[in-house]
Amino acid sequence: MKLIKKHNHKIIFLLFVCSLFNLTAQTDTNTVNQLNHWADEAEQQGNYTASTNYATQALKFAQQLNYKKGEASALNNLGLLQYNQSNYTQALNYYTRSYKICKALNCKKGMASFFCNAALVYTDLESYPQATLKYITALKIYKSIHNKNGQALCYNHLGLVYTKQQKFTKALAHHSMALKLCQQLNDTLALANYYQSIGYTYYCKQNFTQAIICYNLALQLNQQTNSIAAQAYTYTSLGDVYAALNQPAQAIKSYLTALPLNQQLNNVDDLVELYSSISEAYSQTQNYTQANYYKDQYKKLAEKLNPTNMYPAKSYGDN
């Protein structure tokens, strides 16, 4: 509820701007930049509806002005929103359109951003060589323009790609380089993200003590930034660690803290996984009523994603 209220005044202003420019068919670059800024801000807080509205209007006004830099930013934001909803084809389409503009403008930062964003898609699709190549390309560009934020981002995501391939030594080395750069920049949100990534690597390595330490550090920083999406992810990650440690009560506590945050974000993919995890944790405590309730929630959402999928009829507690 807080998140929605926070954006009400901006949405009202956006509606005013839209009505004004529908009449005059004019705007200026400052308005486009502000809309893109709000789109980015709303996306980081997990308010995808507001972010889409801002980015769509920014794109419209930028095209009216032939303001190519603003158009590229809006397309990039729209691509990120599609990526967050696992719409990978649409995400790559927006990213590619943005990249073409950046290349024409010789905007190095925008070009590097494209390679990073495309690499995220390829990572999710488990095309790790493609992802690695794109991150290395982005890293070279960021180094050429002395952009430490971009370098840290590339190092961190390369670490995640190596983690997914169980190359943990290389993963932690890259995370360490990202963390070192980020500490120099004093970027709280990025620092939280890097601790989250290190925690994930330790989790995959089954070093659960270190994973919990890193996740709690990330959580403390995420709470400072009021990032709903980041907090939801960290609470879920903590739940996964406690589940792996066979501490279902602790896992349930973390998962149930994450649940209303994920419901607020309405990220169906994350909710499906979370309902399944909660159901499994309750089954381990032999609370089959709650286990079956969350299993039903999981099945309802999963069937929306894949209606042809078949699920086992057996419920927890059946003989």
DSSP, residue by residue, 182-218: HHHHT-HHHHHHHHHHHHHHHHHTT-HHHHHHHHHHH
Residue 250 and residue 277 in contact, taking contact as beta carbons nearer than 8 Å? no
pLDDT > 60? residue 319: no
C-alpha 157/C-alpha 135 separation (Å) is: 8
* pLDDT number for residue 306: 59
Say which CATH class 1-106 falls into: mainly alpha
* pLDDT number for residue 42: 87
* Angle CA 119–122–123, to nearest 5: 85
C-alpha 167/C-alpha 175 separation (Å) is: 12
Residue 264 and residue 231 in contact, taking contact as beta carbons nearer than 8 Å? no
Check if 1-106 and 187-306 are the same fold: yes
Contacts of 283 (CB under 8 A, 6+ apart): 291, 316
Under the banding of pLDDT at 50, 70 and 90, the label for residue 11 is very low
Over the stretch 221-277, which tens digit does the pLDDT of each residue have?
999 988 898 999 999 999 999 999 999 999 999 999 999 999 988 778 889 999 999
Sketch the domain layout of the chain as residue ranges: 1-106, 187-306
Q: Which CATH number fits domain 187-306: 3.40.309.10, 3.30.470.20, 1.25.40.10, 3.40.50.450?
A: 1.25.40.10
Short-list 269, 274, 271, 279, CA closest to 306? 269
